[in-house]
Amino acid sequence: MTRPRRPRSRVSPRKQPRQQRSRETVRAILEAAARIFEERGAGAATTDAIALRAGVSVGSLYQYFPSKEALLATLSACHLLAARAALEPALARFDAGDPAGAAIPALAAALMRAHQERPRLQRLLFADAPIGSEQARALAALHRECCARIARWLAARPEVRVADPELAARVGFDAVTALAHGAALDARLGTLEQREREMALLLRRYFTGAP
């Protein structure tokens, strides 16, 4: 006998805030959700607890977010927008054809500082909790864009020594992204600036072979 399927939770926001007071309510709900998710994880968090932390009724929360999954999806979208904004100045250096000594440290610093922003929440949004297809597509699109812009730079710069710019861009970007994420979760070794320098050194040596 086939088991009945459980209805899937709605993940899209129910309505968009139009007035200033409504926008403030949504910001309070999202901040409360972020803190509750950080403290308890996605499984143990409840909309009741989030509403209480935000200082609103559960009914008010449901006016904007029909489920806990909708809150997770919105927080994921907000994080991706923030990540794109943080990376853009560094990626613009690659677009401009800046030398390795300028472009690579800028990328290392941007990745490191982007991952310093609520690392526990980032881990929950993109590793511990399943994300929706829309967020997955947005994350994949941002990754492709970053790698493509770096690959074009690798193909054009005379100091670069890689056989396959597209592959090197992917390997290099993924490596320093993972290092930045790991460093954000464990800050016991070195200062932020020291870690940025080490990441830039690793990437420069990989791309150019320079000591």
Q: Is residue 210 over pLDDT 90?
A: no
Residue range 59-81, pLDDT digits in tens:
999 999 998 888 988 888 888 88
Mean pLDDT for 82-101 is 95
Mean pLDDT for 115-136 is 72
| Structural domain count of the chain | 2
pLDDT band for 202, please (50, 70, 90 cuts): very high
d(CA 207, CA 153): 11
CATH number at residue 39: 1.10.10.60
* Domain span holding position 24: 20-68
The C-alpha torsion from 23 through 28 and 34 to 38, rounded to 10°, is 180
Its pTM surpasses 0.95: no
| Within-domain flag for 4 | no
| Within-domain flag for 2 | no
CATH number at residue 154: 1.10.357.10
* Cα→Cα distances 89→104, 147, 169, Å: 12, 15, 18
| Within-domain flag for 56 | yes
Residue type, 126: F
Residues 85 and 166 in one domain: yes
pLDDT band for 129, please (50, 70, 90 cuts): low
pLDDT band for 105, please (50, 70, 90 cuts): very high
Q: Which of 33-42, 83-92, 95-104 bottoms out in mean pLDDT, i.e. has the lowest? A: 33-42
